[in-house]
């Protein structure tokens, strides 16, 4: 991967931010939360502690800030960091509308500049979890967490990546790229729906990295589209996503 992915992804998100404002407005008021592209429910996934009173929490790649708001609604003191000025503008506008005091910070989730051990809980939903190389942002998440702290993140399942054609057309039931040595994909110049540079690993790659850093895996979830789902979202047909895992969630803990 030779492209300057940080600048590329920042430019992509600044240019696309206006298209996510309506989605963000809907998600800010969602209670209880729904997650990912297919709206899997918090009841199924338990991604957030039920009571976050007194906790310091950070969202890494917070975008429009709705996950940050869900955490502050549960009582946490919340920081959201994002590299895109425009996405943060949406987050700040919505925070003002909702009377929220979340600290939205502009910066790179791989190198936040925030103090060591300042958070009890860290989360990423399609933020750093897919837009940053895992060996860059996961050590930073580790550094930010206190002993006993938790990191939960949701992103694409590697199977959805290897079943995605190289030109960006919707996923299908053919293996289009090798699984071995998978690192992610550069979607900037594809024919259909170009975006930025995204990262992923094989399952053993994820597990090796967690263990090198010192994270314990407390839960791993593979997500499918719900039975009611129709159409194609984010280049994945619902019929595919009902039969194959389209997303994954890792629940990790920094030991005491």
Strand, coil or helix: 62: coil
Structure tokens at 155: 């992103």
Rg (CA), the chain: 17
* CA–CA distance, 119 with 216 (Å, rounded to integer): 17
- Interface with ligand SAM includes 80 (CB under 6 A)? no
* CA–CA distance, 79 with 60 (Å, rounded to integer): 9
Q: Which is nearer to ligand SAM, 103 or 216 (CB)?
A: 103
Least distance to ligand SAM from the beta carbon of 128, Å?
Answer: 6
On the 0-12 / 13-18 / 19+ scale of CB atoms within 10 A, 153 is buried
Given 131, 153, 206, 215, the residue binding ligand SAM (CB under 6 A): 131
- Interface with ligand SAM includes 69 (CB under 6 A)? no
- Can you tell me which residue has the tokens 């694409």? 156
- Interface with ligand SAM includes 64 (CB under 6 A)? yes
Candidates 44-52, 61-69, 234-242, 244-252: pick the segment binding ligand SAM (CB under 6 A): 61-69
Terminal alpha carbon distance of the chain: 36
- Interface with ligand SAM includes 104 (CB under 6 A)? no
Least distance to ligand SAM from the beta carbon of 175, Å?
Answer: 26
The residue ranges that bind ligand SAM (CB under 6 A) are 6, 9, 13, 61-64, 67, 81-84, 87, 108-110, 125-128, 131-132
């Amino acid at each position: 991967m030779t492209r300057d992915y940080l600048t590329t992804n920042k430019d992509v998100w600044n240019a696309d931010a206006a298209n996510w404002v309506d989605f963000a407005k809907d998600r800010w008021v969602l209670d209880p939360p729904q997650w990912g592209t297919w709206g899997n429910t918090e009841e199924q996934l338990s991604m957030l502690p039920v009571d976050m009173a007194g906790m310091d929490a950070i969202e890494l790649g917070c975008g429009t800030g709705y996950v940050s708001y869900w955490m502050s609604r549960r009582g946490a003191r919340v920081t959201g960091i994002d590299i895109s000025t425009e996405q943060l503008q949406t987050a700040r506008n919505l925070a003002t509308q909702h009377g929220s005091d979340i600290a939205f910070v502009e910066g790179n989730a791989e190198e936040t500049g925030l103090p060591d051990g300042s958070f009890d809980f860290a989360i990423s939903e399609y933020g750093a979890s897919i837009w940053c190389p895992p060996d860059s942002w996961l050590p930073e998440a580790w550094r930010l967490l206190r002993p006993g702290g938790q990191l939960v993140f949701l992103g694409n399942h590697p199977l959805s990546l290897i079943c995605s054609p190289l030109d960006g057309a919707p996923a299908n039931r053919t293996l289009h790229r090798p699984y071995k040595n998978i690192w992610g994909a550069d979607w900037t110049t594809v024919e259909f729906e170009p975006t930025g540079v995204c990262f992923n690993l094989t399952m053993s790659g994820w597990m090796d990295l967690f263990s090198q850093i010192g994270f314990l895996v407390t839960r791993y979830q593979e997500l499918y589209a719900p039975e009611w789902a129709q159409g194609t979202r984010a280049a994945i047909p619902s019929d595919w996503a009902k039969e194959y895992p389209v997303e994954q969630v890792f629940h990790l803990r920094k030991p005491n």
